[in-house]
Structures are given as C-alpha cells and as structure tokens.
C-alpha cells in the first residue's frame, strides 16, 4: 500500500493519519521467505516536522510462520511493531538510501507501507524460534521428527572425537 506524502509536505506541522491494509503475503529475507498468516491493518501517522523532514509512525500486528530452529515445523510468530522513523525526503536518492538502511520504503514522495514494515521486521527478527522449549529436533541420520516418534539410528554426534578420527582416516585413504 502506497501513501502519497506530497499532501503532508505542503504545510509545515501538518499531520496525516491513515489506516491501510498490509498487502504483502510473505516477508523476504536473505535466509528465506516467510508467509504472513495473520494481519491487522497498519495505522500510519506522518508528521511534517520542517523542510522536508518527516516523522513516520506506524503500528500494527501480524503473525508470520517461521520454522522451528530444531525440527523445522512452522511456528506462528507474532510481531507487534510500533515505531517512529525520522526521514528527510529532501535528501538525494543516495543519501536517502544510506539513511534508510538501503531499504527503499520511500520513493520520491511515496511511502511504501509494506516495505516500511518489512524493514522494521528485519530489525525485530528473532535469532532463534523454537516450537517448544524442549523440542527434540530431527534425527541427524534419517530426518525423523523426534517430537513425534523415534528411530533406530545411532547418533553420529554422540562422540564427536570419534568422527574426527574417522574423517582423518578417510582423508588418509584418499591420498
């Protein structure tokens, strides 16, 4: 969803307030794409400070499916972003890109609300998501989800010293 900023920029101290739908279906990060499974409209308030400086405030809530760090099952993770950004749209494109952390949620006098939110979620993104604290994860041999069943594999990670020796031995044979 795009909000036109030229109106708020026409008068100093002017404020525009809008509630707009979030239109993105997934969050795209370097580590993958994460589907948005639940969303609320985004409340946006833009305040004209002076010159071409704006204070952009946004709040909403949305849920995203993020795979469990151990078993890869989808975990519904709720974000409740509520933030304010100071942006000078009078800066050149290059300066603006630097100030906006290279995420172009402002293009000319247009504010891209999806891009603004995506940018914020990156900074709020959890380092690790677990489906539950004691998730047993996947068997490293056969891939069985150990929360839902067991398998007969030997855990190759039980004695890491042994596998180092094994690898060394393998390398020797290849030479």
Q: Between 133 and 174, whose beta carbon lies closer to Zn ion?
A: 133
73-112 footprint of Zn ion as x/- string (CB under 5 A): ----------------------------------------
153-172 footprint of Zn ion as x/- string (CB under 5 A): x-------------------
Q: Between 62 and 138, whose beta carbon lies closer to Zn ion?
A: 138
115 binds Zn ion (CB under 5 A): no
Report long-range pairs for 128-132 (Cβ below 8 Å, ≥24 apart).
Answer: 128/69, 129/66, 129/67, 129/68, 129/69, 129/75, 129/77, 130/68, 130/69, 130/70, 130/75, 131/68, 131/70, 131/71, 131/73, 131/75
Q: Between 5 and 68, whose beta carbon lies closer to Zn ion?
A: 68
E strands, 21-88, where?
A: 26-29, 32-39, 42-50, 53-59, 62-67, 74-79, 82-88
Among 2, 49, 141, 168, indicate the residue that binds Zn ion (CB under 5 A): 141
Q: Between 121 and 135, whose beta carbon lies closer to Zn ion?
A: 135
């Amino acid at each position: 969803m795009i909000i036109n900023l030229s109106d708020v920029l026409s008068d100093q101290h002017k404020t525009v307030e809008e509630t707009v739908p979030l239109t993105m279906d997934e969050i795209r990060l370097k580590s993958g794409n994460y589907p948005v499974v639940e969303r609320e409209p985004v409340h946006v308030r833009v305040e004209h400070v002076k010159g071409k400086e704006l204070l952009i405030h946004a709040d909403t809530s949305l849920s995203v499916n993020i795979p469990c760090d151990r078993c890869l099952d989808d975990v519904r993770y709720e974000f409740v972003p509520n933030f304010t950004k100071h942006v000078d749209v009078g800066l050149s494109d290059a300066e603006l890109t630097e100030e906006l952390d290279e995420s172009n949620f402002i293009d000319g006098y247009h504010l891209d609300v999806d891009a603004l939110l995506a940018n914020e979620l990156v900074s709020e993104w959890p380092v690790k998501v677990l489906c539950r604290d004691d998730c047993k994860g996947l068997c490293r041999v056969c891939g069985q989800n150990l929360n839902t069943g067991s398998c007969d594999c030997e855990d190759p990670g039980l004695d890491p010293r042994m596998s180092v020796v094994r690898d060394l031995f393998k390398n020797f044979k290849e030479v």
